[in-house]
Amino acid sequence: MLSIRKIGVIGRTYRHLNRYRQILTVFFKYGFGDLVDLLKIDQYIEIGLQMISRHRRERLERMTRAERVRLAMEELGPTYVKLGQVLSTRPDLIPVDFIHELAKLQDEVPPFPFEDVHRIITRELGDAPDAIFKHFDETPQASASIGQVHRAVLKDGDQVAVKVQRPGIRKTIEVDLEIMLHLATLMEHHIEEIAFYRPIRIVEEFAKTLERELDYTIESSHMERMAGHLLSDMTVYVPKVYRELTTPKVLTAEFIDGIKISETKQLEDAGLDRHEITRRGALILLRQVFEIGFFHGDPHPGNIFVLPENVICLLDFGMVGSVDRQTREDFVELVDAVVHRHEARTAQVLLKLTTWDEKPDMRSFEKDVADFMGRHLYRPLEEINFGRLLQHLLELASQNRLIIPPDIFLMMKTLAAVEGVARMLDPTFDIFATAAPFVKQVKIARFHPERLTDDFLRLSTELLEFLQQFPTELLDITRQMRQQKFALPVELKGLTAMLETHDQSSNRVSFAIIIAGLIIGSSIIVVANIPPLFYGISLIGIIVFITGAVMGLWLLVAIIKKGRL
């Protein structure tokens, strides 16, 4: 697993210091020095901050903040590029202009030398490439931030694709994630507007995503699981995994010689049917979401190939999603409520699918839902872009401070991607009509006799357990009350502040009474001419009066500083 530690003072954590300096240099370079100051990073970095140049290039003055964020992430390397790519799909977390800009980030880096490939394969598989493979192409087919893919031939003649993890990438990502976690913590403490989005939680979820991508055995398990689900469907194919040649850092799978689904001219030249490909691809992915509950989480054109006879081949299972039956049913209910323009029902189901720190006012929330429907649902259903509709729905949730769980968000993202790829091949594609049979199936399944029987048995079991435990729990509460150990925690918001104010007021009144007593007492002493005398005036009376005057002046200054007389 990724070893991510919380960072205290960066200057004392030497594995981070140089990288932190690089990050801050890039921040200043692209005009984010104000953010560095706002986060009070100088309190955590003991040395080196004063050595970082705060100068930014003049050409950056003409760029938008979103453009500068994208350039900064590109310069900071693979971890930040991947974070930017994740954020580019989250309209509930960042503004639209940032989404469009971060979507331009490309996960393309120069390949690493074959000497490293040879060393990693030898260490991971226990033998050199030439001993395991009949042929191994030293030039990679593709190269990305985490790994690169080489084509090879096994001793038995099978064509395979071998994905090899980039050397040192795990350590690099661990350091970057620890620094990200530290920055996220500072944001939650110092920037109230950002704190709501829980940046710590975002970094932790991002770390889980990278953890899965860094272990190729997880991806191979995903491939085998999906192949099992789709075994009886002849319209789709998942490459075979060679488990004996797969480790956390090396993945060996069947090589696919197909046509990218985005290469429309090549598809036509090969005599393949674009409309049938569109229909099959959409049905396969919709079935994964609504029927299986386990789906490909990144179905962009580069991960979908077409084989002879219009067979769809899915590649790259580094990101997959999983949703339970209840979540699928709730999501179907949400879509049904939206397309039928039921404001109250939409609001209620959206609350079921999200989490929140404070439940929104329902009347205000339903009004926002009605405004959303008025803006985006005024056209016939077949003309509505489902992907954009989901994006606006996420924005609506964000405006009302509702948090979309990662699995539900990934499901929405996948459905939007399905529509995008399908409309690229067939502009008339209607996702609502294509998904209708699956939606109907989910609705009907809720009332299937077997399902109703299961639900009845489950509820009966839970009720029986409750009735069995209730007397014991009640007896325990009664016993605690008799022993005076029963306590109800009550929180009165604002009580602490009120008590502090009351204490301050009481202290001031007491202080003022003491001052008044000193001044009155000094007057009596002076009038009584109590010795010793100084120029005929009681010295004790003078000292007591000066003490009272100083204390009175101190009280007055304290009140003025507080801003209230």
Q: Are residues 455 and 510 in the same domain?
A: no
Q: Are residues 234 and 247 in the same domain?
A: yes
Q: Concatenated DSSP letters for 370-426?
A: HHHHHHH-SS-GGGS-HHHHHHHHHHHHHHTT-B--HHHHHHHHHHHHHHHHHHHH-
pLDDT of residue 15: 63
More confident call, 5 vs 231: 231
DSSP β-bridge partners for residue 164: 148, 250
B/e letters for 297-336, b = 16+ CB within 10 Å, e = fewer, are: bbbeeebbbbbeebbbbbbbbbbbbebeeebbbbbbbbbb
432 within domain boundaries: yes
**Side chain identity, residue 413:** K
Q: Are residues 102 and 119 in the same domain?
A: no
What is the rounded distance in angstroms from the CA atom of residue 310 to the CA atom of residue 223?
Answer: 21
Residue tagged active-site, from 298, 330, 455, 503 = 298
Instruction: State the pLDDT confidence band at 12, using cuts at 50, 70 and 90.
Output: very low
- Counting beta carbons within 10 angstroms of the beta carbon of residue 19, is it exposed (0 to 12), middle (13 to 18) or buried (19 or more)? middle
Q: Are residues 300 and 201 in the same domain?
A: no
CB 132 within 8 A of CB 118: no
CB 403 within 8 A of CB 355: yes
Q: Is 298 a catalytic residue?
A: yes
pLDDT of residue 7: 46
pLDDT of residue 8: 44
Q: Are residues 315 and 344 in the same domain?
A: yes
The rounded percent of the chain whose pLDDT value lies above 90 is 35
pLDDT of residue 241: 97
Instruction: State the pLDDT confidence band at 47, using cuts at 50, 70 and 90.
Output: very low
CB 352 within 8 A of CB 330: yes
Instruction: State the pLDDT confidence band at 14, using cuts at 50, 70 and 90.
Output: low
Which CATH number belongs to the domain containing residue 220 in this structure?
A: 3.30.200.20
pLDDT at 486 > cutoff 70: no
Helix (H, G, I), strand (E, B) or coil at 159: strand
DSSP β-bridge partners for residue 154: 133
Sign of the CA dihedral running 4, 9, 10, 15: negative
pLDDT at 329 > cutoff 60: yes
* Calculated CA dihedral for residues 76, 82, 84, 90, nearest 10 degrees: -160
Q: Are residues 476 and 517 in the same domain?
A: no
129 within domain boundaries: yes
Q: Are residues 133 and 233 in the same domain?
A: yes
Q: Concatenated DSSP letters for 289-352?
A: IIIISEEES---GGGEEEEGGGEEEE---SSEEE--HHHHHHHHHHHHHHHTT-HHHHHHHHHH
pLDDT of residue 114: 96
Mean local confidence (pLDDT), 140-164: 94
546 within domain boundaries: yes
Q: Which of 192-196, 199-203, 218-222, 527-531 has the highest mean pLDDT?
A: 218-222
Q: Are residues 381 and 402 in the same domain?
A: yes
423 within domain boundaries: yes
5 within domain boundaries: no
Q: For residue range 224-266, list pLDDT tens digits in order.
A: 999 999 999 999 999 999 999 999 999 999 999 999 998 999 9
Average pLDDT, the chain: 84
191 within domain boundaries: yes
Phi and psi torsions of 47, nearest 5°: -140, 150
- Count of domains forming the chain: 5
pLDDT of residue 347: 92
124 within domain boundaries: yes
Q: Are residues 227 and 193 in the same domain?
A: no
pLDDT at 462 > cutoff 60: yes
Q: Are residues 274 and 385 in the same domain?
A: yes
pTM (two decimals): 0.73
30 within domain boundaries: yes
CB 257 within 8 A of CB 270: no
> In the 8-state DSSP scheme, what is residue 361?
P
Domain span holding position 557: 495-562
Mean local confidence (pLDDT), 99-104: 83
What is the rounded distance in angstroms from the CA atom of residue 371 to the CA atom of residue 360?
Answer: 16
pLDDT of residue 46: 47
Q: For residue range 411-424, list pLDDT tens digits in order.
A: 998 999 999 999 99
What is the rounded distance in angstroms from the CA atom of residue 444 to the CA atom of residue 431?
Answer: 20
Nearest to 391 by CA among 38, 1, 89: 89
Nearest to 419 by CA among 446, 391, 456, 400: 391
Q: For residue range 277-309, list pLDDT tens digits in order.
A: 999 999 999 999 999 999 999 898 889 999 999
More confident call, 448 vs 49: 448
Nearest to 236 by CA among 269, 263, 264, 261: 261
Q: Are residues 461 and 535 in the same domain?
A: no
What is the rounded distance in angstroms from the CA atom of residue 367 to the CA atom of residue 344?
Answer: 9
- Counting beta carbons within 10 angstroms of the beta carbon of residue 131, is it exposed (0 to 12), middle (13 to 18) or buried (19 or more)? exposed
Q: For residue range 385-420, list pLDDT tens digits in order.
A: 888 888 888 888 888 888 888 889 899 989 999 999
Residue identified by tokens 């994208």 is 70
Q: Are residues 384 and 483 in the same domain?
A: no
Choose one of 467, 489, 511: the last residue of a domain. Answer: 489
